[in-house]
Amino acid sequence: MEPSFLQLTDSVWVFPCHPDPQKLQPNVGIIISGSDTVLVDGGNSPRHARRILDALDELNAPPVRYVIYTHSHFDHFFGAQLFSVPAIAHELCRQRVQEMAAKPWSFSYIEDEIKDSPERAIGLRNIARVMDEWRGFRIIVPSVTFTAGLQLYLNGGLLLEIEHVGGQHSPDSSVVRVPEQGVMFVADAYYPPTADYRQPGDTMDYDLIARLMQDETIQQVVDGHSATPLSRDTLLALLDKRGDGG
Ligand SMILES: [Zn+2]
């Protein structure tokens, strides 16, 4: 059987995004050092998180200690309850997740919300599509927060650097670097705004990509919804093409 995860370096794996974009299952980072596993994002639903747990079993990964939320879009954290650990996020992300946690989530609540705010229909329907049921569902509100950034040392000594970058996709976006391994998780930070908020002419956030690439130690970048990690060269080529209207 094909392994369900992708190994990037000695300590870094990815549980890859679902090939069908309709499933909205983003890439989830798995970082292991000593007796600690840290996840970058927590899956879009309990169903997605169960698949991630199976992959962790397959990997013989040590227990998960933290889930880091890259931003407050549901597809990055609605599965987090399955890991039963504290979540780490930017302060604004925590506020937004807390607001979402206060809602009476159900399929009929979503229908009512769409009637009240039709401009949010695409995002709300996405949630309804990937959730099997709401019984027992719980949103994990981050209990460890930061404003500019946070350094997290894993049990085996590996350093993770979390940095708030904001941007047009979501102002609470953060990236996670594993400097020693040349890997950076950026989730959706450089993407255009989500469908409900997108304007004609919106593009990738090339300025942000350029800023992120200034860190020359980074060789592999994992974003939220690309099928494979992107090499430094791929991203630099993207910046070069920008002048051609790309
Ligand atoms: Zn997003």
**Per-residue tokens: 126:** 């996405």
Q: Which residues pair with 36 in a beta bridge?
A: 33
One-letter amino acid for residue 14 of the chain: V
**Per-residue tokens: 14:** 């990815």
Distance 173 CA to ligand 1 centre (A): 8
Distance 106 CA to ligand 1 centre (A): 21
Note whether 75 and 122 are within 8 A (CB).
no
pLDDT in tens, 219-243: 999 999 999 999 999 999 999 988 6
Distance 78 CA to ligand 1 centre (A): 12
pLDDT at 4: 87
Residues 6+ apart with CB under 8 A from 19: 227
Domain 6-244: give its CATH architecture. Answer: 4-Layer Sandwich (3.60)
The domain segmentation of the chain, as residue ranges, is: 6-244
Q: Strand 159-164 vs strand 174-178: parallel, antiparallel, or unpaired?
A: antiparallel
Q: Is 135 left (phi over 0), alpha (psi -120 to 50) or beta?
A: beta
Q: Among residues 227, 224, 229, which one has the least CA distance to residue 73? A: 224
Distance 99 CA to ligand 1 centre (A): 17
**Per-residue tokens: 190:** 């450089």
Q: How far is CA 76 from CA 60, 71, 109, in A?
A: 23, 7, 21
Residue 220: φ, ψ to 5°? -130, 135
**Degrees to nearest 5, angle at CA 15 with 93 and 142:** 20
pLDDT in tens, 89-132: 999 999 999 999 999 999 999 999 999 999 999 999 999 999 99
Q: How far is CA 218 from CA 5, 15, 40, 171, 185, in A?
A: 21, 20, 17, 23, 10
Distance 67 CA to ligand 1 centre (A): 16
Distance 75 CA to ligand 1 centre (A): 7
pLDDT in tens, 159-177: 999 999 999 999 999 999 9
Distance 201 CA to ligand 1 centre (A): 18
